């Protein structure tokens, strides 16, 4: 098999302006949604309580919401999680309520609504382990509702996590810029980071538009994607450098076109492979990994676009020249270098 049979270099750079305008529009739309709608931050950032319960029968969301709202915890969110039997309840932070007790109180109330009574039940994750858990049982001995997971995050933790996230992003951006400037040239480093930061904003824009939950795991995905799509720019820049050395007659635009065309096959196959993995996570990873995989998918798609069409174009407009890169190759043939081979 061979997917790509390209006879001549494709003149990508001729349309560079169009690509960048498309990119700019998407970027502006993302910023617009981020500003107007804002991110739907998970309780890891905002502080609060999350309770996941599983009903024996498909859950009546309205009923559950009514029960929890009756407890006066402020603005609560009740929604299905994964299946129709799983329900996720989010409660905001309240200064006057002891947070560690919230979970117990809510579960007790939910249990009462199902005509059950609370008690302890032997609960082993696997046969052979001992453990006890809160269980809600009816008079008939059935368990109408089960506590699957609960999470409480205090306000100070949330604030720190948000700060740490911002620090991590700054570290990645600076680290990558320094590395690329050192390995290639500052123009490439600026081009790559502009192109890939706009990917990050676009991912965030998607999360703002659809109001998907932005959690710590999604943040990890965003940063991983940032590192990953910079790869793409690096591969193309590597080729640009090589083409500058090899084809002395080509001008900058042709060199860039050649570099993009010759890495085309690799770009599509690599991203296709990574996307297969991500798709597998999207299909089999369950609700916990759902948004993680979504962030990666968006990141990978826009990563290709921005690396191929945006980064190279920005580098071109910044005025990349043969001399910027090929000077390093002269050093390779420095006759005084003891490691260089004999020069005839």
Interface positions, 76-105, toward another protein (CB under 8 A): 99-100, 103-104
- Tell me the DSSP string of 65-121: HHHHHTT--SS-EEEEESEEEEEEEEE---TTS-HHHHHHHHHHHHHHHTT-EEEEE
Report in angstroms how near the CB of residue 208 gets to another protein at its nearest: 21
Binding mask 1-40 for another protein (x = CB under 8 A): xx--xxx---------------------------------
Report in angstroms how near the CB of residue 287 gets to another protein at its nearest: 9
Q: Which of 228, 244, 305, 309 binds another protein (CB under 8 A)?
A: 228
Q: How many residues bind another protein (CB under 8 A)?
A: 87
Binding segment toward another protein, per CB under 8 A, in 33-41, 204-212, 248-256, 280-288: 280-288
Q: Exposure string (b/e) for 169-182, b if CB count within 10 Å is 16 or more? A: beebbeebbeebbe
Report in angstroms how near the CB of residue 123 gets to another protein at its nearest: 5
List CB contacts of 282: < 8 A, sequence separation 6 or more. 289, 290, 293, 294, 297
Q: Exposure string (b/e) for 95-114, b if CB count within 10 Å is 16 or more? A: eebebeebbeebbbebbebb
Report in angstroms how near the CB of residue 256 gets to another protein at its nearest: 16
Binding segment toward another protein, per CB under 8 A, in 11-19, 27-35, 116-124, 311-319: 116-124
Note whether 127 binds another protein by CB under 8 A.
Answer: yes
Q: Which is nearer to another protein, 156 or 339 (CB)?
A: 156
Report in angstroms how near the CB of residue 7 gets to another protein at its nearest: 5
What is the rounded distance in angstroms from the CA atom of residue 152 to the CA atom of residue 43?
8
Q: Which is nearer to another protein, 226 or 308 (CB)?
A: 226
- Tell me the DSSP string of 137-171: E-TTS--SEEEEEEEEE-HHHHHHHHHHHHHHHHH
List CB contacts of 67: < 8 A, sequence separation 6 or more. 109, 110, 113
Asked if residue 288 lies in contact with residue 215, where contact means CB atoms within 8 angstroms, the answer is no
Q: Which is nearer to another protein, 269 or 340 (CB)?
A: 269
Note whether 124 binds another protein by CB under 8 A.
Answer: yes
Report in angstroms how near the CB of residue 80 gets to another protein at its nearest: 16
Report in angstroms how near the CB of residue 72 gets to another protein at its nearest: 22
């Amino acid at each position: 098999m061979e997917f790509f049979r390209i006879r001549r270099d494709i003149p990508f750079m001729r349309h560079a302006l169009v690509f960048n305008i498309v990119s700019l529009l998407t970027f502006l739309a993302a910023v617009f949604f981020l500003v107007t709608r804002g991110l739907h931050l998970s309780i890891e950032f905002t502080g609060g309580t999350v309770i996941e319960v599983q009903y024996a029968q498909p859950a009546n969301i309205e009923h559950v919401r009514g029960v929890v709202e009756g407890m006066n915890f402020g603005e609560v969110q009740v929604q299905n999680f994964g299946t129709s039997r799983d329900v996720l309840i989010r409660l905001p932070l309240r200064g006057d309520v002891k947070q560690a007790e919230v979970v117990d109180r809510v579960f007790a109330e939910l249990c009462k609504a199902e005509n059950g009574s609370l008690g302890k039940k032997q609960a082993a994750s696997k046969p052979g382990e001992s453990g006890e858990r809160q269980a809600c049982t009816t008079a008939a001995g059935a368990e109408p509702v089960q506590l699957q997971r609960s999470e409480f995050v205090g306000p100070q933790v949330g604030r720190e996590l948000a700060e740490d996230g911002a620090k991590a992003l700054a570290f990645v951006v600076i680290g990558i810029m320094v590395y690329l400037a050192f390995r290639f040239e500052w123009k490439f480093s600026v081009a790559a980071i502009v192109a890939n930061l706009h990917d990050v904003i676009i991912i965030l824009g998607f999360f703002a538009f659809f109001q998907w939950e932005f959690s710590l795991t999604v943040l990890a995905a965003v940063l991983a994607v940032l590192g990953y799509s910079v790869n793409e720019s690096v591969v193309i820049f590597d080729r640009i450098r090589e083409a500058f050395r090899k084809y002395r007659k080509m001008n900058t635009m042709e060199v860039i076109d050649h570099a993009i065309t010759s890495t085309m096959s690799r770009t599509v196959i690599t991203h296709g492979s990574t996307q297969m993995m991500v798709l597998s996570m999207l299909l089999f990873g369950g609700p916990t990994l759902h948004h993680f995989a979504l962030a990666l998918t968006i990141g990978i798609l826009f990563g290709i676009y921005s690396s191929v069409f945006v980064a190279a174009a920005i580098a071109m407009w910044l005025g990349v020249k043969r001399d910027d890169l090929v000077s390093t190759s002269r050093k390779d043939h420095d006759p005084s270098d003891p490691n260089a081979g004999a020069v005839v």
